[in-house]
Structure 1
Amino acid sequence: MYKIRQIKYAASSTSVQVYRIENRKRVIVRHIGTARTADELNNLIVLANDFIKKISSQLFLFNEDQSNNIINIKKIEFLGVYYSFFYELIHKLIIAIGFDKLHNDFLLDLVVMRMLEPSSKLRSIALLEEYFGIRHRRQRYYESAPKWLNLKSKVEAIAVEFVQSHYAFDYSLVFYDVTTLYFESFEPDDLRKNGFSKDNKSQQPQILIGLMVSKEGFPISYDVFSGNTFEGHTFIPMIEGFIRKNNIETFTVVADAAMISTQNSAALNEKGVSYIVGARLGNISSDLLETIDNKLAREEGKAIRVKTVNGDLVCAFSPARYRKDKYEMEKQIEKAKYLIANPSKNKKLKFTKTSGQAIELNKKLIEKTNKLLGIKGYYTNLPESVASNQIIIERYHELYRIEQAFRISKSDLQARPIFHYKEEPIKLHILICFMALAISKHIELKTGSSIKSFIHECKKITDARLKNKITGREIKMRAASNPTILELTEKLNLLT
């Protein structure tokens, strides 16, 4: 039996000790401290009771649960902070989306770290312990990670199911685009190849990522292609795979101009897939150009529709686009004129051509470009009775939502550069980024706040880690929620 002893050395000084009786003698177990005020004395008694509770599991007559709220600063060591609030919040979102059905806590923890502080997988494992007190063995990662790639189809199915139930997704409109992710390496292989880089890293090997999102920008499917794959060659395989996995009869896909070709439009028509795809008017025939030039009125909001081998070509005029295109054309012409006046063997410009040994203005191209100023084109196989020209244009302009998804993945989640060198770790990295993107996009859609701002606010709610020097017990004290956090969690339908 442990007891508390108070010894008065002076009128304003009281020492508190914990002792026990052995062989009829008092044995001092721990000197708790010396108090000089009534408050200090009360705090020392609380610490003494806490110490006794730990070493003997002794039950007290009165409930002492509230005593843990009383801390003697002199007897406390600050160990650091945890960001457990953020972890708990994201875990609730993981459950809400359905990723917990993967039954893979290790993978999900890496997804959380990709959102909070993107880094290498081994660094993420270390940060999980540092930021949340969650321990995973590195060896377990090496043993388990290769098997995680089998979860890709299930992850995509969960994403589709969630966007159907929470955002009324019905396959009627899907947006598709590709991006490139480069590597901190100059050694290509079968997957990592040099190609056209959207990150201006053409000297470094890369991979190509195809991504599908809903009309809100929520990611629903992705695939990985070798870095030298032409963008248009990813289009049909992604569409076919998506249709096969989800048993879709018909739907409409919106994509940029790189995806259209006579072969692709024929394949889409054969599969009953409706499409709205950007048109590269610089490549159209002279006859089609003349038709557009003669029929399209150069007025705001005016549009025409012309039959082509790639489907109906909808062309629209915009005064704002006209001014921009005209400025760019005139700037290019001035550069061409300067090059003609100051020839350079190694330099070629858009509006120049070679005539024998001389460089001269390409007047034919200038005339063609001048006719297309302010005009944007869109290919579609949707009849005008189903989708008017204005609807086609509006749907295509919503393609910016997939650009937002790429921004989140590249900037906030730091999907690139990639530091892996083997195919399995590379594809696992993309799987983790896809899941983190889905959670991040849901947060942005529900809160109206960027994921960067959301994480910044969540990191304000920390758990201080305090060690009781008397008992050796670690105490955690969480900062109070602020109005911004309460508003964000309310929009996400989460309780803090």
Structure 2
Amino acid sequence: MSTIVGVGLFVRKVRTASGATAVQIVSKERGVRRIVEHIGSAHTDDELAALLEVADTKIHAGQLAFDLNSLSPAKVSSIPEVAGSQSRVLWEVLDNAYRDLGFDQVGTETFKQLVLARIVEPTSKADTIRVLADLGVRSPSSLRTIWRTLNRSIAEDWRSQLAAAAFAHVTADGALSIVMYDVTTLYFEAENEDRLRKVGMSKERRVDPQILIGLLVDPTGFPLEVHAFAGNRGETTTLLPVLNGFRERHGRADVVVVADAGMLSAANLNALEEAGFDFIVGSRTGSAPRDLADHYDRVGNFFADGATVETTREMGTGQAKRTRRVVWHYSRARERRDNITLNKQIERAQDIAEGRRPPKKDRFVSLGTRPGVNWDAVEKAREYLGLKGYVTSISTEKLAGDKVMAAYHDLFKVEASFRMAKTDLKARPMFHHERDSIEAHLTIVFAALAVTRHLTETSGYSIKRIITALRPVRDVMIRIRGQHVMAETPLEGDAADIVAKLRESAGH
């Protein structure tokens, strides 16, 4: 065995493409550098310090006669070595939230891993194994195990069981009196339609096959149910089946439904009322001049900031005609925002009229032999800047106007949940081909969204900040003299605050 004496050895730190810091022992002889051993890659300052200590110990263990062939723990048992690391704190936070919701009673360990890994890093099912390994969590043994788990989630209807647990969580401290509903679209990069994926009206103006996703949440935005519908189905036709199913499952006869203006039609509201549901839906702002004609006759278009004006509107025709209560609210801040939007729309219309943009069906554009700006429509729009209307079946005696408005304003939490599902959780299953695969994917997303909303509500931090703060906090396993020592990274900053708030919420 040849021993090299007098070779210059030193420790080098190298930034890797993934953002980690690699620690290496490097030799230098006659100006030529050579990597003797790669010690490991660090994700945190504490892990880096441990790796540097290991490297330094290895170098000083053989100052006078350093054997390049014996740099291994098997031959130098007294030299400490990093045997691995794990994001224990993050995983415990996610696992505790999953258990708090009662989800641990549904499905399998592999299903839980798929849900929690998706919160940390949304990726393909195959790449989930890598995410779990990086977290230091024992992952499914193979991709086949994952597919079997997804198949079981459909065969045993785990989503219904998760929804039941979610409902129990929401109603643990009292009755649920308001639910909110909204619809979005998920598109697929597929050439051909099938029985579920259809080309339909797309909010993103795409012509790809899509599906409709209906999300039912409580007033805080916590998900109660998620449903998939064919992509060419009308949004309003999804509302009643979801609500009827919800009532059948939970026996709720006193639930108020809150939905956006897209759900507003005389026939749709009549159907809700006949089915025994009260409702609060947004009113299209263009109805303001007609609804508020008496107000305009008396005081013009002046409204005090924060004022509410109640009126009624005849909706429907013939025997289907109903008199509906409408609550209008004025806000100066909303008027400023509306005015900025209006001016931009006028600018686009002028660009079309003057040939700077191709003719389109933009607002305030008159398309004839020669495009122009419809100034009458502009002046009419100015009459209702700052106004927002709400149509409801609930009487004034039961719910005052400001309460109607407040209930509707919570609807943005449904939209926030949709944004979270489509960005942080990447709900769009672009490459799933079979309906069962799509439904299984949505089951995972539903559970992940529920865990996410629970964590954000109890900690006050967004899920992105939670992951960013806790993922780098890693426990480092040091192996020395045949023994394993776990070095825990102390919590600081956001990480410490998040954990403290979650423990306080849980009563620990």
TM-score computed with the length of structure 1 as normaliser: 0.77
The SS at the match of 1:408 is helix
Task: State the alpha-carbon separation in 2 of the partners of residues 84 and 105 from structure 1.
Answer: 17
Shift of 1:124: 0.9
Higher Cα Rg: structure 1 or 2?
Answer: 1
Return the match for 1:160 from 162, 167, 170. Answer: 167
Whether the 8 Å CA contact 1:461–1:479 is kept in 2: the answer is: yes
Report 1:94-243 matches (<5 A). Answer: 94-131=98-135, 132-149=137-154, 150-165=157-172, 168-198=173-203, 200=204, 202-243=206-247
Matched, 1:491 2:498: no
Whether the 8 Å CA contact 2:429–2:441 is kept in 1: the answer is: no
Give the 3 Å change call, closer, same or farther, for CA 169–230 of structure 1 in structure 2.
Answer: farther
Query: Deviations 1:360-387 (Å, cap 9, x if unpaired)?
Result: 4434433432322222111101111111
Task: State the alpha-carbon separation in 2 of the partners of residues 350 and 481 from structure 1.
Answer: 54
Task: State the alpha-carbon separation in 1 of the partners of residues 192 and 174 from structure 2.
Answer: 42
Report 1:266-305 matches (<5 A). Answer: 266-282=270-286, 284=287, 287-288=290-291, 290-291=293-294, 293-294=296-297, 297-305=302-310
The residue type paired with residue 448 of structure 2 is A
Q: Which runs of 4+ in 1 moved over 6 A?
A: none
Give the 3 Å change call, closer, same or farther, for CA 349–488 of structure 1 in structure 2.
Answer: closer
The residue type paired with residue 188 of structure 1 is E
Shift of 1:479: 2.4
Partner of 2:95: 91
Query: Deviations 1:16-59 (Å, cap 9, x if unpaired)?
Result: xxxxxxxxxxxxxxxxx99x99xxxxxxxxxxxxx9xxxxxxxx
Whether the 8 Å CA contact 2:107–2:153 is kept in 1: the answer is: no
Report 1:351-362 matches (<5 A). Answer: 351-355=364-368, 357-362=369-374
Task: State the alpha-carbon separation in 2 of the partners of residues 347 and 103 from structure 1.
Answer: 51
Matched, 1:245 2:252: no
Task: State the alpha-carbon separation in 1 of the partners of residues 288 and 220 from structure 2.
Answer: 36
* Count of equivalent residues: 424
Return the match for 2:337 from 318, 321, 324. Answer: 324
The SS at the match of 2:309 is strand
The SS at the match of 1:75 is coil
Give the 3 Å change call, closer, same or farther, for CA 249–147 of structure 1 in structure 2.
Answer: same
Whether the 8 Å CA contact 1:489–1:495 is kept in 2: the answer is: no
Query: Deviations 1:331-355 (Å, cap 9, x if unpaired)?
Result: 4334434433439774343223245
Task: State the alpha-carbon separation in 2 of the partners of residues 294 and 207 from structure 1.
Answer: 47
CA-atom RMSD in angstroms: 3.1
Partner of 1:350: 363
Task: State the alpha-carbon separation in 1 of the partners of residues 268 and 145 from structure 2.
Answer: 44
The residue type paired with residue 384 of structure 1 is T
Task: State the alpha-carbon separation in 2 of the partners of residues 129 and 360 from structure 1.
Answer: 61
Shift of 1:115: 1.1
Task: State the alpha-carbon separation in 2 of the partners of residues 463 and 495 from structure 1.
Answer: 25
Shift of 1:179: 2.0
Shift of 1:495: 9.3
The SS at the match of 1:412 is coil
The SS at the match of 1:313 is strand
Task: State the alpha-carbon separation in 2 of the partners of residues 287 and 457 from structure 1.
Answer: 53
Shift of 1:189: 2.7
Return the match for 1:478 from 484, 488, 497. Answer: 488
Give the 3 Å change call, closer, same or farther, for CA 90–320 of structure 1 in structure 2.
Answer: closer
Identity %: 30
Give the 3 Å change call, closer, same or farther, for CA 287–216 of structure 1 in structure 2.
Answer: closer
Shift of 1:396: 1.2
Task: State the alpha-carbon separation in 2 of the partners of residues 73 and 452 from structure 1.
Answer: 42
The SS at the match of 2:234 is coil
Partner of 2:47: none
Shift of 1:394: 1.6
The residue type paired with residue 407 of structure 1 is R
TM-score computed with the length of structure 2 as normaliser: 0.75
Give the 3 Å change call, closer, same or farther, for CA 140–377 of structure 1 in structure 2.
Answer: same
The SS at the match of 1:492 is helix
Partner of 1:395: 407
Flag structure 2 segments of 5+ consecutive residues without an equivalent. 1-56, 62-73, 316-323
The SS at the match of 1:276 is strand
The residue type paired with residue 163 of structure 1 is V
Task: State the alpha-carbon separation in 1 of the partners of residues 507 and 467 from structure 2.
Answer: 17
Mean Cα displacement is larger for which, 269-278 or 300-309? 300-309
Task: State the alpha-carbon separation in 2 of the partners of residues 285 and 321 from structure 1.
Answer: 15
The SS at the match of 1:188 is coil
Mean Cα displacement is larger for which, 363-372 or 141-150? 363-372
Partner of 1:426: 438
Partner of 2:311: 306
Shift of 1:292: 5.8
